Structures are given as C-alpha cells and as structure tokens.
Structure 1
C-alpha cells in the first residue's frame, strides 16, 4: 500500500527551536496512517534540523538508530539491502507463538512470580499523589566516573554477573531503604529482538520485564546480587510473554493514581546516538528536553567511554528536584560502599552524608531550653494561685471555683490523703465521672505527694480490677456516680463526701522531688494486657511548660475537659491552663459528637485538644464558625490527614490554628509538634514536625541506624 508523507519545511532562527520543536510534537490519530511526521528546519545556510516525530507503537529506541543509519546510507547514494522479514511477519509469528506450549510455560512462570500478595512501593513523596496518575515529569543527569565504573566492572567479573545486574541490585536497595520495604518490584525494558532477522527491522519490539527482588537487611550484597542475577536470567528466559497479557492475567485491582504492578523502571542502554560524518556533512542528535515521566521514577544508565551516564526521570507531581538530587547523592554513596565492602549486609550500608548526620543528630535536636526543672507541678500550680487567685480556674455546668477556692479544697483533700499514709511514689486510683471533683482529686493526690492512676468508669470490670491489682493501689477515689462500679478490697474515698473538705486550706509542705512519680496511665499494651506507663514530675513539668509557651496566648484561654481521664489528651487540657491563669471548662463525658457540638455551640473554649476522629465530626455539624471563640486545635493520637486539616481551616475562614502534636504516652503526652500550613503542607498527611523543647528525636532503621531525609524509618 502507498501512503502519502508530507515533509514540512521552514526557516527559523536557532533560538526559535526551543519553541518550534516541542510544538511539532502532537498526539497521533491511531486510525490514520502514517504514524510519524517529518519536518526540516533551516537555521543557517548550511545548518538544518531534521525533526522526526514517531508514535511508540511503530518504533522503539533501536528503530530510531536504524532510521538514522538508513537515512545516512541513502544520503550517500547507497542502496539499502532487502529485509528478510517485515514487522508484519514478526507480528504473525508472535501471534502464532501464543498457541504454543512454550508461551504457556512462560505465562505460568510469570503468574507464579506474582501469585502471592503484591507489594505496592510507597516511596515518600513531596506532594500528595494525584488521584489520577500524572505524567508530568523532569529529569536529572549525573555521572559515575571511570574509576567507579571500572571497579563495578571488576565486581561483575568477580561475581560472574553483569553491570546491568549490579546496578539493578543497587537501585533496588536504594528504593528499599527509601520506602522502608524489602519486597521491591522494578520494571525493566528488553529489546525483544530475539531473532537475528529482527535486528534491521523498524518496529515496536520492546517488552517490559517485571523483576521482583527481596532486599532483606540481613543479606550480604553478594548473596543479594546472586538472587538478582538468577531472577534477571529467568526473566530474560521468559521475555516473550507480553506485559499487557500478564497484567490482564493477574486481574489486578486498578489504582488510577499509579501504574499497575510496578511504579519504577530501570533501563540500561547500549544504544547511543553519536555524531556521524559523511564527507563534508555531519549528523548529531539535537538535545530535546522531555517533560514527561511515565512512572514515578525511571533510572536510565548509558555506558560511555569516561564512565556511566545516568538519568533519573521523575514525576514532578510527586517529587521536588532537591529530593531527586538527594536521592542521586545517596545512590552514589551506596555504590561507593558496595564497591568497598560487597560482603557487608544490606542493613549495614549507610546512605547518610556527614552533613545530613550532623543536621539530624545535632542541629534538629538542638532543643535545649530553660524550664523550671527543679520544680514540681505542685509548685507551678501554687505559683499561679498567687498570681491569679480570683480568676475562675474550673467550671462545670453551674459550678465554678476560683484558683484560690480550688487550691483550698485540694489542700483539704491532700491533708486527708497524707493522714492515710499517701506520700512520694504512692499510687492512688481515681475513678470518677467528669466533674470538678475529678480535678480536685488528681491535684489532691499530687499535693499529698502521691501519683494518681486514672481509671475510666466505663471500662469492663475485669480491666478495672486488673489495673487496681497491677498497681497495688490500696486507696480508690470515687464519686456518688462511680461508688458501686466494682467491689474494691482496699479503702474507698468518696469525693462527694463533705467531710473530705473540712481541714485547713493552706498549702502543704512540698515533699516531692522532680523525679518522683506524678501519674501512671494504662495503655492497651502490645501483649494483650494493659500496660502502665509511669510519668515523673520533671517530664510533665517540661511538657506543660512547653505547651504553655506554644498554645497559651494569654491568661484568659479556656480549654474544655471532655475526654476520658485515662487518655493523656486530658493532661494538656487540665494542667496547661492551670499554670497559665486560664480556665478548665468541664463537660460531661457524653457521646463525642454531642459533647463536641456543645463545646462549639457554647462558644467559650479557645483551645481544644482532640483527635482527628473528633475533628472530622465538625465537618458534619451545622454551626456558624466564622465568629467562633476557638483560636487553635491541638490534634493528636492519630494520623492527621491534610484533607481534613484543610477543610477545618476553611470552615473557620482561616481564623484557626491547627497543631499536629505527636508522641507516645511514654514521652509524656507529646514530643513533636507541627503547625499546619495550608500553603505548604501538600502531602497526604500533616507532618508531625520537630522535637519539642528538651526532647531529642531519632528516625532509625531496623538496625537502629539514622535514615536519610525523606526516607521511611521508625
């Protein structure tokens, strides 16, 4: 069949090429031949740019080189030799091969490779992954010099492998360390020209091999390389089975945000377009910048006379340029270490630059700040009573107590507890509903010198009894509402009994030291039984002093107390306002949706500590929030999604601060903080931020080594 081909011709200045060449590249109509277009641009009397745009469905990298070679031969007046086969012959052969036992054998090989649960490579990204995959991309070039290339070649000879296998292994280790995953799948194109007759044929022969390797930390590099070699050779033995058929056979759940099965590529090219000369005419490739990335990452390696030229193509909707630059540096460090110690285990390889180590271990952990470390919480509370004796300290429904009144009743309770033998490191259980007595109870235990053990009255009886037995508490504080929940063998004191508040109201002598216990909170525990976490005065003083400076704007802040006393979220809500002159506004422990609605509707609270689950309830509430009293949310306990933070910020017309506070109970409520930034926080989750005052944070791998920035660790 004959097809008309139009060759466009135009004249232009050289500086116009940056605009003209990309504009020439357009989508093709696959139903209309030919699937290529040609343009000749004259930029000087004896200088032209020959632009050839061709759809990938009819060509591959080898085809491009063939076309240039054929063009030069024709230009020299040399007839092209007849081809033994045409691409259509290959297509017929390939279709016939599908019916053979060999192809069925290859199919079964690939299905066996991916028969179990398939890993999804979750590389840390700079931006939230778009719901529909973006192909916007960029790339960075870098080199491994001749010396490193030579040493890699020597390593290949010693291990009876190839440069391709070694670089694939290194790339896989890099991805594993970045993602914190060991099961890694990488796509790698293969030329697909398995018969000599296909070598001079223009067409799309390329297939993609999907190579799965387990980069386990305890493997030595040489043993891992052996596995990579075996997996690569087996993949190449089965390279005729098309990727598209494999994807169809696997029946994968389609995720529109990423490529199916694998999201990163590795390619090693032996095709290089160099300058070629014919008489007085020279041909050389035009450097065309690509802004497309078909995958999250694609590492392409080209062997050159002075080393290895590597190109990292990346999706710009996922990664910033500086992230890729850092990744390239880490790849270089990893390569150097592998050359020097190939018998080391994968877990021993350290990608951290000295600058990164110093920044992580020293600069980011430079958090030392003065705080009243020689004082106890009692002393801080009593100092605040002196400053604001007549300010309302606690409020519950129609009850209020000023700082002076609260302090007096706490002192009365503390004296009674001391008379019962309570002192430093003595544990006293408290099981009360939300009320002013709850605050009096915990402060009274502290003033007596003891440490309180909060027990939620809604806990199952078995759990309550276990906590009482595990702590060996001999005294339990209750109220009328909780008096009959369990049969306690020790002594029970009812905080609603007026006899509790008949003693002297003056302050007691402070007998605690900063390292004495202040409370024991039980968490779920990893062994099935609740686990008691013991917190000292010094730790709580440091946290509350930091929280005061971070969250409390003045001495008129109001924090609602609505969650269980057994949850350390309440620690912030009680003590931060009470050492700052603020007010604790107590709500009954109702259904979370109802109590949160009441807090917002009452329009008194200015700072609210809550979980993301609580925060998400606001989205469904029909409330006027543009004139809300709330100034800031302190969010903790769960992962905070950017989408939720952004929605809440918008609901308040931007007039609310959202702090993401992170920390296990063992570190005293919170140890890291980040203030949500609607402009710059664009990943899936809000960061957990930087260490709190006098706190050091280390992000480590499973061998307790620091991990590089933007990689996964614990």
Structure 2
C-alpha cells in the first residue's frame, strides 16, 4: 500500500469512528434536545408535513362531505373520585401530546391533496364542562339528564381538522372530590387500541407530575406519520392482494333491508343505539360448536349476524364490514394513531345451508381475508369502481365487531394515580356510521354490546327485532348446528316485505 493510500485509509477509518461516536452521542440526547438540534441544523425549519394514511384519507373525505358529522368521534368518559389535581391532569395530557405527534396534527390541503401538519408541542388545557359549578352533595346521579346532556354536547361538538388537533379533554365537576373526565378524539388520530395506550400513559404522566419527576415511559420507536408514509408505499405495491379483493367482491349487491321510511337522497348519519344481550349458556354452546368446527367465537357470531341480516333482507349475498386492529408490526403497539382497517366479509347463504355449513364457509373466507388485511377499503372501492350513491355507505351497509383482541388492561383500569376510576356508560351521540352495526363483547354474563342503526331508515322497534333475532339465532345454532338457515329464521320472516 502506497503512503498516499495508507493516509486515505487512515482518514476514512477515523471518519467512520467519528461518525459512530456522533451517532452514539445523538442517541443519548433526550428527545426534545434531538428535535431542537434538528431544527437548528435546518435553519429553524423542520419538515412537519406528511401524506395521510389511506384510512385517514377516507375519514378526511367523510369529514369534508359532512363537517358537522360526529359519527367518527371516539368518546371515553370516566368518573374520577378523590382530590383531583387539575394542573397535574392537564400536565399529563401535555406530556402525552408532546410524546405522540399525531395528537399535535392538523389536516390541511397541500395543493390538491390532504396532508398532515405536525405542530410544535404546546400546553394542553382542560375544558370545563360545568364552568363555576360545584355540586355540594357528595354523590350525584351521574346518569341524570343534565350531566348526560353536557357530555353528549361536548362529545358531539365538531372538530375543525385543519385548524386544531383532533382531540380534546374536559372535566365535569360533580363535587370537590368527584368529577367526570371526558376524552373526545376523532377517529382520524386514534383507534380503540390507542385508548388503552392513552390511559396507561395518562396514569404514569399524572403520577409523575404529582411527584415532580419525568414520566417513566420508553422512547417511541417511530411516529404515526412514519407509518403513514410506509403504509402508502406498501399499498402501491400490494397488487396481488388487490386483485384478490376485486375478484372476491365483484358484483356484490347492496344489502337491501326493508325500511320503515323512504331512503333520503343523501346519507345523513343520524342514528341511535340499543342494547344487545345473549345469555352465557347460549354463548357457551356456540363456543363449543365453533371449536368443533376449528373456528373461533368471532367467526360463529359473524355467521349468526349474517343469518340475521339475510333473514331480514331476504338475501343470500351481501357484504358486512369487519374492523381489524391493523397493527401488524410490534413497533406499532405503543403508538397512538389510526391503524385499524375494515375487512369486507361477503356472505354466502346460498342453497339454504345448515349453520354448521355456513360456519365452515365463514371460517374459510375469514382466514383468507385476514391473510390480505393490509389492503385498504378505499383502494378496494376504487378498483371495483363501485357506483357512487350518496344515499348509502358504499359496499358495506352493515358492520360487525367483536371486541376480543384489543388490549383493555389499562383502558379498564380502576386507578389513576391516587384517584379511583369508574367507567361511565357509553352514551348515544345520535349518529350511525352505516345502516346497521353490531358491536359486541364476550363477558362473564354472555354477550353484551349494542346495535347502532340509522334512524332515517329504521324505527327503534325494527332495531330491537334485529337484536332479538340475532340472540335467537345464536341460541338455536348453538343448540342444533344442523338446522338450516330457513329454520333458524323461521320465526323472523315478518322482516320481509
């Protein structure tokens, strides 16, 4: 090796060592110091605009279609008992919004396309749902109409996605040591998995603020806008799965449930909820049946919901939307953001099969769908070229959701720092995302949940018949899987025209 070559090699080795040392020192900096250094190197400017994920883009268009619609507001009210430190509570939300950029994000037009704009961290202030009012009584009926109306009004207030971050938190004081904390987030920045993350970090951040220390939370491996960029790139390369969905869903007819009143020319999203319940004994039998068919309770309940809808509509072919978590990589687990997506389950009730046969069909189609869950509904709709119909949701007029694989350990926590936490009942905001949606959970007493329905189309009595039919199908199918669908729904043909 010549002297010149040796000198060049030494310089290269020294440069590599210096770069590694610089990387090590940068990695050791606190996140806020790293951000400040990036801004200084960029002359005070930092890139804070990114594309939306495909799911976010759909919600953004829906918001533009109807800015006053609150159907995609996720509300989490909890009752706090104890000496509430409002300064610490606001500080905890500030720490969480500083940590998760999606909670500092606005959605604007960048040319002809929507874009995410991440604002700098700022102080979060709690809204007061009851200005200047403190109730003297140590206990107050938290289901009373005035309290409920205050929370519904707060939850239903529209977001201006371009002007401010799409979430808020307010406190409704019932007494000096008794209040309802109401957290309202637009679906464009959060999913139901995120609520568990939010409540976990709220507990630690509240404790830390009270104790005068930084929250003990691990650094986030990434931010939501990074996922959005990657997700859009993956979507562009997902040709094979898109082809599967186009072939699977081509020619699917709309679900044509019998209506109680004429369909409006334009979808309004007006809705209501009713409770749904199936006793534990009936659910346990259905679980045994599902295991015998190498299926899950989710698959069996989806099949029962398809039978319910098919009986009501007199159809054997239609689609049901099914939300899935969409967090297919471990680094996404600790993030707040909108990762969930909608799978389309096409019902096949043809030839009046037994429930056991329908469960087999549902199992096969569900497994195939889950293997291709990365294809967004918006891309599928675009590839199918579904004719635009402003009077109804596209492709899926019905939804089904079994809350069974989402983390709830922190969501259902009973403490927040030194405060006792009680869950507040989920309120009816008077909105519906689709014509009928069944949202249920498996509890110790069986199946519980609610049926959400469009009040422009259906009366409450019709919704109740749907819920009761579903409960009867679950009970009959678990008792005798050889019953054909016509037998399962024999008592419910009054739905049909």
Fold conserved (TM > 0.5)? yes
CA distance in 1, matches of 2:331, 2:479: 43
- Residue equivalent to 2:194: 63
Aligned match for 1:45, one of 176, 180, 186: 176
- The 5-angstrom pairing of residues 140-539 of structure 1 reads 140-270=274-404, 271=406, 272=408, 273-278=411-416, 280-287=418-425, 288-352=427-491
Aligned match for 1:94, one of 213, 222, 231: 231
CA displacement 1:678-697 (0-9 Å, x = unmatched): xxxxxxxxxxxxxxxxxxxx
**1:11–1:42 CA contact under 8 A, matched in 2:** no
CA distance in 2, matches of 1:99, 1:348: 46
CA distance in 2, matches of 1:350, 1:294: 26
SS in structure 2 of the partner of residue 43 of structure 1: strand
- The 5-angstrom pairing of residues 507-656 of structure 1 reads none
**2:261–2:456 CA contact under 8 A, matched in 1:** yes
- Residue equivalent to 2:154: 24
- Residue equivalent to 1:114: 249
Superposed displacement of residue 130, structure 1: 1.0
SS in structure 1 of the partner of residue 493 of structure 2: coil
**1:11–1:43 CA contact under 8 A, matched in 2:** no
**1:217–1:345 CA contact under 8 A, matched in 2:** no
Residues 34 and 3 (structure 1 numbering): CA distance in 2 closer, same or farther, change over 3 Å? Answer: farther
CA distance in 1, matches of 2:352, 2:270: 37
**2:286–2:477 CA contact under 8 A, matched in 1:** no
Superposed displacement of residue 228, structure 1: 0.6
Counterpart check, 1:2 vs 2:140: no
Superposed displacement of residue 194, structure 1: 0.8
CA displacement 1:470-522 (0-9 Å, x = unmatched): xxxxxxxxxxxxxxxxxxxxxxxxxxxxxxxxxxxxxxxxxxxxxxxxxxxxx
CA distance in 1, matches of 2:241, 2:431: 32
Superposed displacement of residue 338, structure 1: 0.8
Using the size of structure 2 for normalisation, the TM-score is 0.68
**1:213–1:231 CA contact under 8 A, matched in 2:** no
**1:131–1:257 CA contact under 8 A, matched in 2:** yes
**2:399–2:438 CA contact under 8 A, matched in 1:** yes
CA displacement 1:10-64 (0-9 Å, x = unmatched): 4445553223222223211221232212222221011122222211110111112
Superposed displacement of residue 217, structure 1: 4.1
- Residue equivalent to 1:360: none
- Residue equivalent to 2:88: none
The structure with the greater share of residues assigned to helix is: 2
- Residue equivalent to 1:660: none
Larger Rg: 1
Counterpart check, 1:104 vs 2:239: yes
CA distance in 2, matches of 1:130, 1:139: 20
**2:311–2:489 CA contact under 8 A, matched in 1:** no
- Residue equivalent to 2:18: none
Using the size of structure 1 for normalisation, the TM-score is 0.48
CA displacement 1:617-656 (0-9 Å, x = unmatched): xxxxxxxxxxxxxxxxxxxxxxxxxxxxxxxxxxxxxxxx
Aligned match for 2:219, one of 82, 86, 103: 82
CA displacement 1:121-177 (0-9 Å, x = unmatched): 111111111111121111111221221121111111111000010010011011111
SS in structure 2 of the partner of residue 131 of structure 1: coil
CA displacement 1:377-410 (0-9 Å, x = unmatched): xxxxxxxxxxxxxxxxxxxxxxxxxxxxxxxxxx
Aligned match for 1:708, one of 481, 493, 496: 493
CA distance in 2, matches of 1:310, 1:155: 22
CA distance in 2, matches of 1:53, 1:278: 18
**2:327–2:339 CA contact under 8 A, matched in 1:** yes
Superposed displacement of residue 95, structure 1: 2.1
Q: Aligned residue pairs: how many?
A: 355
Instruction: Name the Cα RMSD after superposition.
Output: 1.8
CA distance in 2, matches of 1:118, 1:321: 28
**1:293–1:315 CA contact under 8 A, matched in 2:** yes
CA distance in 2, matches of 1:296, 1:99: 31
**2:313–2:495 CA contact under 8 A, matched in 1:** no
CA displacement 1:541-595 (0-9 Å, x = unmatched): xxxxxxxxxxxxxxxxxxxxxxxxxxxxxxxxxxxxxxxxxxxxxxxxxxxxxxx
SS in structure 1 of the partner of residue 429 of structure 2: coil
Residues 710 and 213 (structure 1 numbering): CA distance in 2 closer, same or farther, change over 3 Å? Answer: closer
SS in structure 1 of the partner of residue 458 of structure 2: coil
CA distance in 1, matches of 2:283, 2:494: 27
**1:182–1:215 CA contact under 8 A, matched in 2:** yes
